[in-house]
């Protein structure tokens, strides 16, 4: 599946510095580094140690990780919902994203960066308010002439409008399936899943940004120094690792940002391997085995018979697929089985 993460924030928050740090990453080419494919778009690999472990057992060199696409979206200023600055471009790009990384510059006082958060969140709410208001008017007219389905739309949109007027994001609301269908059609900005990236100075690296300091404390928060990461990305990977160990950390900003996007979207990873490659695949939690087979190839979904399931840990511990079978650790599952994170799948199908 193609997953897009938009990097947003006010001007000078450091989002472009973070993006540049990601695009300068020195990950080996065969591992899908975060490489620039447009001036403001790049692809990042989801690093997963299990890929190497499976490859070593399988005796293959090629490892293909899951990738995410990141987009550095034009900076937002107050009034964007009314078209100020690059507002219209900013808002239209966000609609295309699956998840949002909201970069906040924490270089000055807490009140300043909290104000930046409020500016962005309010502009998204105002844009959604305008969208929902128009949709509600249209649904109301159709409901009055007897379209029963539009009565559900009116009820759902009225509740959404009320929430927005109290500055509550749509992703904090719950909908039944019929209501959700109407709301999803609007591609509302505050319905997007998101996480905060608190961009701090190098001297603040030992300071943890508290969830209590950030509005919507249920939203995941990561603290990084984008400028430092940009400089580190220019260094050989071994030197980067040595520096991080000296600083008391072992994960780059790339890994933490990528993993946050992956986690917020509630994706799970399954693996496949053959004599030439090991590959990781991302699927939304709750995807069936038959649907997962379709991620590999549409013919596998159409002709699905069953799937053989092995736990990654069992394969690594026992040393071979044959040993796993001998130990009774291989399972046979049907089309409605829900694959879990870390499982190795071998799909049997009619071609």
pLDDT band at 342 (very low <50, low <70, confident <90, very high): very high
| Number of independent structural domains in the chain | 1
pLDDT digits (tens, 9 = 90+) for 96-121: 999 999 999 887 655 578 888 888 89
The average confidence (pLDDT) of the chain is 85
The answer as to whether 323 is a domain residue is yes
Among left, alpha and beta (phi > 0; psi -120 to 50; other), residue 91 is alpha
**Sign of CA pseudo-dihedral 91, 97, 98, 102:** negative
The answer as to whether 343 is a domain residue is yes
| Residues 190 and 169 sit within 8 Å (Cβ to Cβ) | yes
CA 291/CA 340 separation, integer angstroms: 13
pLDDT digits (tens, 9 = 90+) for 57-97: 999 999 999 988 888 887 766 665 555 544 556 678 888 99
The answer as to whether 335 is a domain residue is yes
The answer as to whether 311 is a domain residue is yes
Token digits of residue 89:
């471009």
CA 143/CA 5 separation, integer angstroms: 37
CATH of the domain at 327: 3.10.20.30
| Residues 33 and 46 sit within 8 Å (Cβ to Cβ) | no
Task: Name the pairing type of β-strands 193-199 and 99-105.
Answer: parallel
Predicted pLDDT at 141: 92
CA 271/CA 279 separation, integer angstroms: 6
| Residues 292 and 58 sit within 8 Å (Cβ to Cβ) | no
pLDDT digits (tens, 9 = 90+) for 225-271: 888 888 887 888 788 878 877 766 656 777 888 889 989 999 999 99
pLDDT digits (tens, 9 = 90+) for 190-230: 999 999 999 887 766 555 555 456 655 578 888 888 888 88
Q: What is the mean pLDDT of residues 307-336?
A: 97
Strand residues in 186-266 grouped as ranges (E): 193-199, 221-224
Other C-beta atoms lying within 10 Å of the C-beta of residue 90: 25
State which residues form the domain around 330.
Answer: 286-349
Predicted pLDDT at 308: 98
The answer as to whether 319 is a domain residue is yes
CA 90/CA 303 separation, integer angstroms: 43
Q: What is the mean pLDDT of residues 277-297?
A: 97
The answer as to whether 36 is a domain residue is no
The answer as to whether 37 is a domain residue is no
The answer as to whether 115 is a domain residue is no
pTM: 0.83
Predicted pLDDT at 37: 47
Give helix then strand counts, H and E, for the chain. 13, 13
CA 131/CA 191 separation, integer angstroms: 13
């Amino acid at each position: 599946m193609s997953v897009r993460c938009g990097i947003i924030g006010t001007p000078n928050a450091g989002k472009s510095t973070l993006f540049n740090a990601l695009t300068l990453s020195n990950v080996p080419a065969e591992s899908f580094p975060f490489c620039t494919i447009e001036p403001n778009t790049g692809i990042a690999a989801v690093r997963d140690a299990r890929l190497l472990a499976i490859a070593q057992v399988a005796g293959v060199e090629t490892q293909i990780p899951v990738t995410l696409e990141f987009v550095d979206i034009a900076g937002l200023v107050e009034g964007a919902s009314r078209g100020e600055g690059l507002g219209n471009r900013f808002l239209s790009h966000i609609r295309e994203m699956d998840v949002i990384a909201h970069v906040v510059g924490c270089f000055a006082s807490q009140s300043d960066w909290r104000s930046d958060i409020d500016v962005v969140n309010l502009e998204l709410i105002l844009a959604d308010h305008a969208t929902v208001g128009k949709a509600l008017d249209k649904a109301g007219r159709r409901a009055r002439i007897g379209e029963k389905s539009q009565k559900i739309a009116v009820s759902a949109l009225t509740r959404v409008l009320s929430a927005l007027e109290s500055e509550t994001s749509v992703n904090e609301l719950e909908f039944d399936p019929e209501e959700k269908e109407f709301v999803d059609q609007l591609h509302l900005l505050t319905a997007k899943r998101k996480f905060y990236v608190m961009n701090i100075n190098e001297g603040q690296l030992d300071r943890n940004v508290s969830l209590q300091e950030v509005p919507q404390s249920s939203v995941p928060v990561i603290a990084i120094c984008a400028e430092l990461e940009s400089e580190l990305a220019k260094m050989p990977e071994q030197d980067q690792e040595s520096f991080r160990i000296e600083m008391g950390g072992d994960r780059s900003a790339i890994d933490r940002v990528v993993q946050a996007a992956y986690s917020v979207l509630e994706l799970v990873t399954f693996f496949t391997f053959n004599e030439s490659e090991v590959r990781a695949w991302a699927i939304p939690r709750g995807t069936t085995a038959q649907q997962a087979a379709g991620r590999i190839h549409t013919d596998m979904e159409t002709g699905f018979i069953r799937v053989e399931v092995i736990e990654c840990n069992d394969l690594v511990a026992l040393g071979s697929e044959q040993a796993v079978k001998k130990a009774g650790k291989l399972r046979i599952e049907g089309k409605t089985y829900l694959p879990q994170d870390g499982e190795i799948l071998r799909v049997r199908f009619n071609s």
